[in-house]
Amino acid sequence: MRTLHGLIMVVGLLGLSACTDQSATDKPDPRPNILLIIADDLGYSDLGVFGGEISTPNLDALAGAGRMLTNFHVAPTCSPTRAMLMSGTDAHRAGLGTMNGLWSEQQKGKPGYEGFLNKDIVTFVRLLKEAGYHTYMSGKWQLGYEAGYYPLDRGFEEAFWLKFGGASHFSDMRGITEYGEDAYWGEGREQLQALPDDFYSSVNFTDKMIEYIEKNRADGKPFFGYAAYTAPHWPLQAPQEYIDRYEGVYDVGYDGIREKRIERMQAAGLIGAGHTPAPQHPEWPDWEELTEEQKKLEVRRMQLYAAMVEALDENIGRLIRYLKDSGEYENTFILFFSDNGAEGSNPHDLASNPTWVPQNFDLSYENMGKPGSYASTGPGWAHVSNTPFHMYKGFPTQGGLLSPTIAVFQDRIKAGSRSDAFITILDVAPTILQLAEVPHPAPEFNGRRVHPMIGKPFFAHLEDREADVHPPEHVYGLELFNRRMIRQGDWKLMYNNRPWGKESWELYNVEEDPGELNDLAQSRPGKLQDMLALWQQYVDENDVLVFDELKMGFTNGKRHYEYQ
C-alpha cells in the first residue's frame, strides 16, 4: 500500500481584495485559498502537541507553524457539527436538531429535525463558488441522503464523498449500520460501484483533494478545500505496518497512558496548576477490574486507534507538502479540528437487531483492524483521548465538545502561538466569508428565505488584532438527544440523563473547573436562574423540542465489555 499521510483541516486565505472577474482581467485572483481539514472522532489529547503519545509529527509541525486553539467548541456529534459549520447557524435551524435515523417520535416531521441539511440555510460553500472560488470536497458528507441534497447540490464543484457517517476504511465498501449495509461512495453526482483494490480512506481522500486542486491550479482562481477525513471513526481499521508500531504501547492500561498525557499537558501549560482532571464515569470499570481477555481486547482497540491517527497525520503531511511544492501554501489559510470528542459509545447499540453485527462481521481478535472487522475504542480509551475532560462524544460535557484545533496562515498568524479564547464551530463560516470578501445574503437567497449566520469572524483574533472573539456576555447553546447545554462566559449550565448525569440541571464555572467536578447549582441559585433564563431564550429562538424522556440505545448503551 502507498505511504499514508493524512488529516488536515486547512482553510486557505491570502490577500483580501474584491472578487475579480477572472475571464475579464486575465489576472490571478489575489484572494486566499481556504482549506478545512476535519478529523472524525479525534480526542482532545491524542495529538503529540496536545499531550498524546501517538506519533503525529506533521500536525505537531503544523501547530508550530501557526496557532493552537485550546478552547474551540464543536457539537456533541458529527453531523450537527457539520451542519453548523456549513450554515454558520444553530443545528436546529439547519435541519440537524437530531441525527438522521435517531429521531424520537415527537421529533419526526418537525422543522429543524429533518436529519439532513435543509434548504432554510445557504452553505458558505455555495457563496464561495458563486463568488469565483473553486470548491472541492473529499471525505465524509452525512448532510443529505437523496438527490438535491448531495455535495454538488450544496455548492461543491468537485466531490469524492461518502454519503453516510462511516464505512469500512478499505475497498470492501462495507457499511457499518443496519440501515446501510453497503456504503454509498460517490464522485460528483455518480454512485461508485467499486473502489481501488488498495483503497484506504485517509490515503485516497488525500489523493482526490490533491487531484482536484491540481486540476485547475493554473487558472489563477482561489480554491476552497474540504478535507473531511473519516479517521479515527469506527470501525477501527489500519494497514498492518501502522498497527505494528504500537505493539505493547497500551499494555499499561488506561491510567498509565492518561497519567503520562496529564504530565505532558501540565508541562505544556494545557492544564492549569490548580485544575483537577475529570475521573472516569463510575458506570465504567477500572483497568484492574477487567479480565485478562478484556484487557487483551482493549489493548488492541487502542493500538488500532493510534495506528489510524498516525496514518491520518502522515496524509495531512502529504497534503501540506503538496501545497508547499506547488507554491500554494503561502496563500492558504489552514484550519484543522475534530468534529467532536472521542467516541466512547458502543456502535453495536445502533442496530435494533442485536445479531446484525456478529452475523455481518468477523469479530475475532485475529481479524481486528482488517477488512470485515468491527471494533471501536470504548469508554475507557475515550476517557483517555479526551483528557482532562469529562465524558465523550454524544454528550454536552467538555469531553464531548472540545476539539484539538490548529490554525495556520504563513506571515499572517504568529508561528508557535496559542490561544485559549472561546471560539465555536459557528464562527468558522463567518471567518471564511470575511477572508474571501463574500457577504452573506440573509434574509433571502435566490428567492427563498434563509437564516443568517450567528457566529463571529475570528481571523482578527488570529492576527492578534483582537484580544478575544466573543464578549463575556456571549451566549452559546446546544441540544442533542435531549441533553442540553448553555454557556455564557465561564459559566456553563448542563443537563444529562441518568446514569450519565443527575437528570437535573448542573452548573459549572469551567474556567475554574474544566473537569466539571464541582456542581454549583445549589450553592449559586441566582446564577442558576440567570442561566435557565438564557436556556429558555435559546429554546424559543431555535424552536428546540425537549422532552422528559430519552429512549436511545446508542449513547446510553452499556454493553461495551460484552463484545469482542
Q: Where are the domains of the chain?
A: 22-474
pLDDT mean over 411-426: 97
What is the pLDDT, as a whole number, of residue 4? 36
HEC assignment per residue over 392-413? CCCCCCHHHHEEEEEEECCCCC
pLDDT at 26: 62
Residue 454's pLDDT is: 97
Task: Give the pLDDT score at 13.
Answer: 32
- Using omega within 30 degrees of 0 as the cis cutoff, is the peptide bond preceding 279 cis? no
Burial 90-113 (b: 16+ CB within 10 A, else e): bbbbbbbbbbbebbbeebeeeebb
Q: Report the percentage of the chain scoring pLDDT > 70.
A: 94
Map residue 483 onto helix, strand or coil: strand
HSE-up (13 A, CA, CB side) for residue 53: 19
Q: Cell 429558555 maps to which residue?
A: 536
What is the C-alpha to C-alpha distance for residues 352 and 340, in angstroms, rounded to an integer? 25
Q: Residue 351 — very low, low, confident or very high, per pLDDT cuts 50/70/90?
A: confident
Q: How many CB atoms lie within 10 A of CB 475?
A: 15
Task: Work out whether the CA dihedral 241, 242, 245, 246 comes out positive or negative.
Answer: negative
- Check residue 564 and give its pLDDT: 61
Opening angle at CA 516, ends 514 and 519, nearest 5: 135
Q: How far apart are alpha carbons 54 and 305 in whole angstroms?
A: 9
User: Does the pLDDT value for residue 16 go beyond 80?
Assistant: no
Contacts of 380 (CB under 8 A, 6+ apart): 254, 280, 284, 285, 287, 298
The number of C-alpha atoms within 13 Å of 29 and in the hemisphere containing its C-beta is: 24
| Cβ pair 277, 388 in contact under 8 A | yes
pLDDT digits (tens, 9 = 90+) for 20-64: 444 444 678 999 999 999 999 999 999 999 999 999 999 999 999
Q: What percentage of residues in the chain have a pLDDT greater than 90?
A: 86
pLDDT of 20:
40
Answer whether residue 553 shows pLDDT above 80.
no
At residue 180 the predicted structure's pLDDT band, cuts being 50, 70 and 90, is low
What local confidence, expressed as pLDDT, does residue 350 receive? 82
Q: Is the pTM of this model over 0.85?
A: yes
Mean of the pLDDT values across residues 92-117? Answer: 92
CATH pick for 22-474 out of 3.40.50.720, 3.30.1360.120, 3.40.720.10, 3.40.50.970? 3.40.720.10
Q: What's 456's DSSP letter? A: -
Q: Give me the DSSP letters along 363-385.
A: --GGGTTSTT-----HHHHHHHH
Say which amino acid occupies 312.
L
Q: Which of 275-284, 326-335, 439-448, 555-564 has the lowest mean pLDDT?
A: 555-564
d(CA 299, CA 243): 11
Please state, in angstroms and rounded to a whole number, the distance separating the CA atoms of residues 11 and 20.
20
> pLDDT (tens digit, 9 = 90+) per residue, 285-324?
999 999 999 999 999 999 999 999 999 999 999 999 999 9
Grid cell listed for 297: 481486547
- 3 state SS of 527: helix
pLDDT averaged over the chain? 93
* pLDDT at 396 > cutoff 60: yes
